[in-house]
Amino acid sequence: MARIVILTGAGISAESGIRTFRASDGLWEEHRIEDVATPEGFARNPELVHRFYNARRAAAAAAAPNAAHQALAALEADGRHTVLVVTQNVDDLHERAGTQNLIHMHGTLAGALCAGCGHRWPAPTQMQVTDPCPACGKPKTRPDIVWFGEMPYRMEEIWAALRQADLFVSIGTSGNVYPAAGFVADAMHAGVPTLELNLDPSAGTRMFDAARHGPATQVVPGWVHEMLARDR
Ligand code: APR
């Protein structure tokens, strides 16, 4: 029974039609991070931020899990390995593919958060800052998304899992944003073997013990097939 920690990024959802961030047609080519992905941007113009996330929520709802999401769910369902998926993504494609053991370290489009009292509740399809918080009633509703300058969720759990893993796999992430971009170094320092599955070499690709480059819907099912065939 191997303990496998799998980090995913926008690249695993790209073939489901969900835009990535740093490609030539990426979201950060069209929107300034400081306007739509920081607490300061939200304080300055909450309507702009809600328009950005309402559009991403609609895009995620219109998308379907692809063969890469399904392969990771199959690896977990097989039961011979303990699989933890740590995703930077805020879409729900891992859940809809059947992955159970999942941490959304950057939050999710499915969550609403009160910037006043911290209450959380299921997000409506189209969210407005004036939506009253169900707990305190204040019109300070924001997406439950971790913005730049905020601490990602459940980091102690993630670092502990990385230290105790038998294998760390990074899928579909450019390795530009910390702390996720540091997971390969954390794994390496703990003596955990590392594998990168990505369309092209990430910023940290040289730190990985092994790497396979290609579309996630090809390289991820290929790797899972090998894992399941090997342990028969
Ligand atoms: N298959 C596999 N990998 C792909 C595919 C694909 N079809 N398409 C793109 N990729 C890879 C790209 O090569 C790139 O390395 O996915 C990666 C996407 O990189 P980014 O757009 O930077 O997305 P990500 O790494 O998830 O960004 C991390 O940055 O803006 C913040 O919070 C945001 O969670 C996000 C974080």
CATH of the domain at 180: 3.40.50.1220
32 is in an annotated binding site: no
d(CA 215, CA 232): 26
163 is in an annotated binding site: no
Question: What CATH number is attached to the domain comprising 32?
Answer: 3.30.1600.10
Provide the domain limits for residue 138.
19-62+109-145
In this predicted structure, what is the pLDDT of residue 55? 97
Question: Which positions ≥6 away from 129 have C-beta within 8 Å?
Answer: 46, 47, 50, 139, 140, 141, 142
Quick one: 4 and 71 in the same domain?
Answer: yes
Residuewise pLDDT in 10s, the chain (232 residues): 899 999 999 999 999 999 999 999 999 999 999 999 999 999 999 999 999 999 999 999 999 999 999 999 999 999 999 999 999 999 999 999 999 999 999 999 999 999 999 999 999 999 999 999 999 999 999 999 999 999 999 999 999 999 999 999 999 999 999 999 999 999 999 999 999 999 999 999 999 999 999 999 999 999 999 999 986 6
Burial of 62 (0-12, 13-18, 19+ CB in 10 A): exposed
Quick one: 227 and 130 in the same domain?
Answer: no
d(CA 230, CA 102): 24
Residues with CB under 6 A from ligand 1: 9-11, 14-15, 20-23, 26, 88, 106, 172-174, 176-177, 198-200, 202, 215-216
d(CA 14, CA 2): 28
Report the nearest-CA residue for atom 25 of ligand 1: 173
In this predicted structure, what is the pLDDT of residue 231? 65
Report the nearest-CA residue for atom 23 of ligand 1: 10
Residues classed as catalytic: 106
202 is in an annotated binding site: no
Compute the distance from residue 124 Cα to the ligand 1 centre, in Å: 26
